[in-house]
Amino acid sequence: MSTPFVEDFLLRCLILNYAVLLVWFAVFVFAHAWLRSLHQRWFLLSEERFDAIHYLGMSIYKVGILLLNLTPYVALRLANHGG
């Protein structure tokens, strides 16, 4: 596996994961009531707890993107292109 392939793969993963995060955020903001009613079928959560869980989930997902996609991508770019 070549380094340019890994760089390209990490960049595509970064873009895809940020798109997923942005869709999640958009649904959470613009379709909050629908999303909450969907989750109410399975879990009895107060609105505050529901919001906190989603906010925490989005923040953990974002940290995962930064650590597992962006950091290795930047490190490879700097190592290979002398940035």
SS3 of 20-49: the string is HHHHHHHHHHHCHHHHHHHHHCCCCCCHHH
Contact 21, 65 (CB under 8 A): yes
82 has pLDDT over 80 = no
Domain boundaries, the chain: 3-81
3-state secondary structure of 2: coil
Match 């505050």 to its residue by tokens: 48
Percent of the chain with pLDDT over 90: 90
Average pLDDT of the segment spanning 64-72: 97
Residue range 13-26, pLDDT digits in tens:
999 999 999 999 99
The torsion angle over the Cα atoms of residues 74, 63, 15 and 77, rounded to 10 degrees, is 0
Contact 14, 65 (CB under 8 A): yes
Work out the mean pLDDT of the chain and round it to a whole number.
Answer: 95
pTM of the model: 0.89
- Rounded Cα gap, residues 83 and 36, in angstroms: 46
